Amino acid sequence: MKLFALFLICLPAMVVAQSREVDPDDLRLTIEIEELPAQPFQQEMILLTIHGVYQRHITQEKLEQPDLTGINWMQLGEDHWFESRLNGKTVKNMRRRIALFPETSGKLEIGAFQHHLTLLDEENKWFEHTIRSQPITFDVIPVPQTKQWWFPVRRLEIQDSWSNAPDQLLPGEGVLRIIRVSALGARPDMIPPMPELTSPSALIFPHPEKRLVDLTARGPEAVAFWRWTIKPRNDVSTILEPIEFSYFDTATRKSEKAVISAQRVAYLPDETDQPAQVAQDAPAQLRPGLLIICGLVSFLVSIAVLVGKDREFSGVWLRRLFEKYTLLYRLRRGVRQNDLSTVRRLAQSLDHQNIPDDVRATLLSKLDIHIYGRTQQVFDLKEFYLRFRRSIH
């Protein structure tokens, strides 16, 4: 009896809630532009929030966006649905965030967003209803007169990394340089073009740049990877010239200059040129790796003797064979230690010593993407080693 009485009390409210007559206060849709420290320039990011509040049960919905003439835009993730309290009642909310990048200056208008809703009437039948937001306008300033690349950002981060120590290269070895430019509040195409890396005495091989974008609650974060392989022309060292580019800090409203300092690239001194050092009664220690290499030397010498019966013995052939198996041993040790930079360096050395192979090229490309790209895929280093080892002849 008490439950029936409670049902009778709630019935009028339920009937009103599921009526074909829609109270405008029950369904509201607004759009709002974030406050900026000053009027925005062209291409400067502006965050737009679309917010809906719904006191009716919704069975289906579709948000229609107006034509944003003169504005480039990016939606920051999926629509966010959540509940809140309004006048003591639980109501549904929808929030969508969009990053706007004005392409033209002057007064721009954002037209009305339309939210097409499917509601229920008194008989639990569906009917369509549309709510609209009010249009808003804002002013945009033209790009300042400058000969520099126009690059407005909220935050800029630069990372300069190397595949191995650039001033400790082995004779004849090259090094891979990767500069990562991360810009919050920018699209990937807004980052300046990959600069030309210069040096008075170095061989420089540029790689195709990579550009990505990460959608965050604070706006899109564009990322560019600039990559070069560098090798000194001489047997000693070389200097890479600094890299500079300008950008506009939208927080401080000032033009700034990013400078990546000069870098020395050098070979390690040849150990044969160093004076010999006399050991000071140090206790003898046998390392497992040394034992393996010694055994390998004995094995190779035996092969050389057998080969010498049929053809003239070649010291160059023996040295190359020894270098190959030494590199393979070090590569396997790097895989066990999960040392990606060492694995990449040794794999590149082995690849250069062998005839070009499509399988090795594909494996090295996947390794580079795993190390320097932003991928979430699992990379099996042991499988890489096994397939790479089979491609070495």
Q: What is the pLDDT of residues 60-86, one digit of tens each?
A: 999 999 999 999 999 999 999 999 998
pLDDT score at 88:
86
The span from the CA of 76 to the CA of 214, in Å, is 9
Tens-digit pLDDT profile for residues 267-325:
887 654 444 444 444 444 444 544 455 555 555 545 544 444 444 444 555 566 667 77
- pLDDT above 70 (res 94): yes
CA atoms within 13 A on the CB side of 104: 8
Amino acid at 237: S
Q: Which helix (H) or strand (E) holds 245?
A: strand 243-249
The span from the CA of 277 to the CA of 296, in Å, is 27
Tens-digit pLDDT profile for residues 5-33:
433 334 444 444 577 888 888 999 999 99
* Nearest residue to 379 (alpha-carbon basis) of 392, 390, 388, 366: 366
Confidence band of 262 (pLDDT split at 50, 70, 90): very high
CA atoms within 13 A on the CB side of 129: 24
152-266: CATH topology is Immunoglobulin-like (2.60.40)
- pLDDT above 50 (res 41): yes
Q: Does the 23-140 domain belong in CATH 2.60.40? A: yes
Phi and psi torsions of 123, nearest 5°: -100, 20
Using DSSP, state whether 291 is helix, strand or coil. helix
CA distances from 164 to 63, 132, 174, 224, 339 (A): 51, 58, 9, 21, 11
Write down the mean pLDDT value for the chain.
Answer: 83
Q: Largest alpha-carbon pair distance within the chain?
A: 110
Location of structure tokens 């049929």 = 310
| Domains 23-140 and 152-266 alike in fold | yes
Average pLDDT on 190-200 reads 95
pLDDT score at 12:
41
* pTM of the entire predicted model: 0.64
Tens-digit pLDDT profile for residues 145-187:
888 899 999 999 999 999 999 988 888 888 999 999 999 999 9
Residue spans of the domains in the chain: they are 23-140, 152-266, 289-390
pLDDT score at 91:
94
Amino acid at 384: F
pLDDT score at 374:
55
Task: Please name the residues in contact with 100: beta carbons below 8 A apart, sequence gap of 6 or more.
Answer: 45, 46, 47, 48, 68, 71, 72, 73, 110
